[in-house]
Amino acid sequence: MSELIKLEEENPEFVSPYSSSQRVGGEPVEGFPTVEHRVPMLSLDNAYSIEEVKEFEKRIKRLLPKESFEYIAELKIDGLGVALIYENGVLTRGATRGDGARGENITSNLRTIKSIPLKIKDSKPSPEYLEVRGEVFLSRDAFEKINTEREKKGESLFANSRNAAAGSLRLLDPKITAKRPLDIFLYNIIFIDERLRPETQLKSLEFLKELGFKVVPHSEKPLKNFEEIFNYYNQKKEKLEELEYNTDGLVIKVNSFPQQKLLGETSKHPRWAIAFKFPAKQARTTIRNIEVQVGSTGAVTPVAIFDSTSLSGSTISRATLHNEDEIKRKDIRVGDTVLIEKGGDVIPKVIKVITAERTGKEKIFKFPKICKVCQSPIFRPEGEAVARCTNPSCSAQIKKRLQHFASRSAMDIEHLGPSIIEQLVEKNYVKDFADLYLLDENTLAGLERMGKKSAQNLKEAIEKSKNAGFQRVLFALGIRHVGERASQILSEKYPSIDKLAEADRESLEEIEEIGPRIAESIVNFFSQRSNCGLVERLKRAGIKTSRETGKQKKATLEGKQFVLTGALESFSRRKAKKAIEELGGRVTSSVSKNTNYVIAGKDPGTKYQDALRLNIDILDENGLKKIISKD
């Protein structure tokens, strides 16, 4: 490497962008820009038992009643999902999964991973455009070395290898990322020239290997039925400790790509794949205390604090106990020896108390009647399991509500993370949502880890959020039971938040999809003077709390279903979806007989072929513009 760098310094005209010396370069960045995935990075549905995998196979048989099919099994790596794009064989972009629709552009950091080719191997023919997806991870040895070094420096330790990998990828200085021995397994081809597209998942993995990628460990041949899946599962389960990396199960995929297209996906999961989880590992520990946490709606949740315990690749010392009834049902006491496991290999939970080891010194937990944060009364409504702090100005509630308010689906305020919110509330700069819009750059720059540029970026993001729109504002307010879908329905029914505030329970219940629970919650919210005052302050700050004035858009696309495929030049996928939905249309992720239009951009992929096969109308970008511009 030293010789290569010296030669390139002496002969800069021969330095190529995919030289090994170019993996790390440039100055630290201020932050990572957001990018949209052309195809959403969906999560996988999970199966924890043989019965659930059998049900998965039954669903496939129901959907493909006259077809035979086979599977491929891949190890489910415990890491961070990323998408890599290659143009003319050269890596041009790498992004995190993010929320599935949008991720962060972390190309500079991904270039530091030696197992990611900066230029793919030549093949005949060679793909002009290629998008692949994989899992970035740290080996067990690498994780231990990183934590050992951090301990020597007096730094906090990573809880598990997944957190360490994710943290390493999001470092703002790629030179530091380069010092972390990150690795990657590739598992999917998303976009490729049609002439090169493999017919099966197994062939796609073989093709990725030919191009120079390191692919996920998988079954060497297709598995023909459930029995073969289960045999392979047992083989891998018995050898987990021999692996150099952490895995929590198998990913079972229908092998044929044409059959995957027919099966399609839901809004969250592909129907042609499932994660068959290995049994959760359990451990014994001792509960030292039970504390309570206060959420955004005032919900008071008990949390068990126990001796630090290593479990499924991470060190845990706390687990939620959900509510008072759950503690009584399991008879959990401070000082008890308990059995814990990680549900879905993610969330720690107390399975049971080992009563045989009780000494008589254990203490029964008494649920508090006073909030530990604000000293206000805690009240448990009749018929509900959850107790709540009655003070809406409780700082613990404010912090959680602000996090929701700033989230992507709400006001989408970039750079306003939990640590910044913590400081703003603790320093008494912010007591509610409206106070955010009174902050100036000097105040923000005075916060820890906030320089002048960061303060400017945050101030600009706060100002930008003023135009988020009525629907997002309604969701951001955090009215109990009012989620994204309810916010959309209500913002279409009522022209402004003032009109919604005047609505009674009966008129709200008449709206389709708005039931008694949501109606009652809305009426209760606007019956409180403090909430009405907050809305008025938001309006004075310049927040738009009504639909756009001017000519009202007609629901000209009501009942019509659209599918977007390929890259659009004038729209982001999110903006195109919003434009269609504003006219009453619906955007789905897969083509079916119920689809009315497929909007095809550049490099449309397989959905375009599905539309041709099903004789569905295909429109280009100009066709979409004509539809949404009609009165």
Strands 299-311 and 314-320: antiparallel
The H-assigned helical ranges of 11-128 are: 50-63, 107-110
Does residue 392 register a pLDDT over 50? yes
The H-assigned helical ranges of 254-394 are: 257-263, 324-330
Does residue 26 register a pLDDT over 50? no
**Cis before 418? omega within 30:** no
Other CB atoms within 10 Å distance of the CB of residue 398: 23
Is 493 annotated in the active site?
no
561: tokens are 């279903």
> Tens digits of per-residue pLDDT, 239-275?
887 889 988 899 999 999 999 989 988 777 899 999 9
Q: Assign residue 389 a region (left: φ > 0; alpha: ψ between -120 and 50; beta: otherwise).
A: beta
Query: pLDDT confidence of 334, banded at 50, 70, 90?
Result: very high
Close Cβ partners of 584 (under 8 Å, ≥ 6 residues apart): 555, 556, 557, 558, 559, 560
Close Cβ partners of 445 (under 8 Å, ≥ 6 residues apart): 451, 452, 454, 455
Which long-range CB contacts under 8 A does 545-551 form with residues at least 24 apart?
545/470, 545/473, 545/496, 545/497, 545/498, 546/470, 546/495, 546/496, 546/497, 546/498, 547/470, 547/491, 547/495, 547/496, 548/469, 551/631
> Tens digits of per-residue pLDDT, 453-480?
999 999 999 999 999 999 999 999 989 8
User: 438 or 14: which carries more pLDDT confidence?
Assistant: 438
pLDDT at position 630: 64
Query: pLDDT confidence of 40, banded at 50, 70, 90?
Result: confident
Query: pLDDT confidence of 3, banded at 50, 70, 90?
Result: confident
Does residue 18 register a pLDDT over 70? no
Taking a C-beta distance cutoff of 8 angstroms, is the pair 351, 304 a contact?
no
Using CA atoms, how far apart are residues 319 and 324, in angstroms rounded to an integer? 14
Does residue 449 register a pLDDT over 60? yes
CA angle at 399 for the pair 398 and 400, rounded to the nearest 5° = 95
User: 483 or 195: which carries more pLDDT confidence?
Assistant: 483
Which long-range CB contacts under 8 A does 211-214 form with residues at least 24 apart?
211/117, 211/120, 211/121, 211/123, 211/130, 212/117, 212/120, 212/121, 213/117, 213/120, 213/132, 213/134, 213/186, 214/115, 214/183, 214/184, 214/185, 214/186
Q: What is the largest CA-CA distance in the chain?
A: 80
Close Cβ partners of 160 (under 8 Å, ≥ 6 residues apart): 78, 143, 246, 312, 313, 314, 315
What b/e sequence results for 120-133 when a residue is b if at least 16 CB atoms lie within 10 Å of its CB, and e otherwise? beeeeeebebbbbb
pLDDT over 70 percentage in the chain: 93
Query: pLDDT confidence of 551, banded at 50, 70, 90?
Result: very low
Taking a C-beta distance cutoff of 8 angstroms, is the pair 482, 474 a contact?
yes
Taking residues 183-191, report their average pLDDT. Answer: 93
Query: Counting every residue, how long is the chain?
Result: 631
pLDDT at position 29: 44
pLDDT at position 348: 84
525: tokens are 């919210």
Using CA atoms, how far apart are residues 493 and 503, in angstroms rounded to an integer? 11
pLDDT over 90 percentage in the chain: 45
The residue type of 629 is: S
Using CA atoms, how far apart are residues 614 and 303, in angstroms rounded to an integer? 53
Quick one: which of 207, 149, 152 has its CA closest to 180?
149
Does residue 550 register a pLDDT over 70? no
> Tens digits of per-residue pLDDT, 599-609?
988 777 778 88
Taking a C-beta distance cutoff of 8 angstroms, is the pair 94, 106 a contact?
yes
Cα 151 from chain centre: 30
Give strand pairing partners of 250.
75, 276
> Tens digits of per-residue pLDDT, 266-285?
777 899 999 999 887 788 99
pLDDT at position 313: 62
Q: Which helix (H) or strand (E) holds 424?
A: helix 418-426
Taking a C-beta distance cutoff of 8 angstroms, is the pair 133, 184 a contact?
no
Which long-range CB contacts under 8 A does 376-385 form with residues at least 24 apart?
378/300, 380/324, 385/322, 385/323, 385/324, 385/325
> Tens digits of per-residue pLDDT, 122-156?
876 678 889 999 999 999 889 888 888 887 777 77
Q: Which helix (H) or strand (E) holds 395?
A: helix 395-406
Looking up tokens 């909430």 gives 531
> Tens digits of per-residue pLDDT, 67-117?
999 999 999 998 999 999 999 889 999 999 988 888 889 999 999 999 999
Classify residue 310 as exposed, middle or buried by CB count within 10 Å of its CB (0-12, 13-18, 19+): exposed
Cα 546 from chain centre: 29
Q: Assign residue 499 a region (left: φ > 0; alpha: ψ between -120 and 50; beta: otherwise).
A: alpha
Give strand pairing partners of 102.
36
pLDDT at position 28: 42
Domains and CATH numbers, the chain: 34-277 (3.30.470.30), 282-379 (2.40.50.140), 395-467 (1.10.150.20), 470-540 (1.10.150.20), 561-629 (3.40.50.10190)
Looking up tokens 């890599």 gives 84
Predicted model pTM: 0.56
Strands (E), 357-430: 363-364, 378-379, 387-389
The catalytic residue among 6, 61, 76, 625 is: 76
The H-assigned helical ranges of 257-338 are: 257-263, 324-330
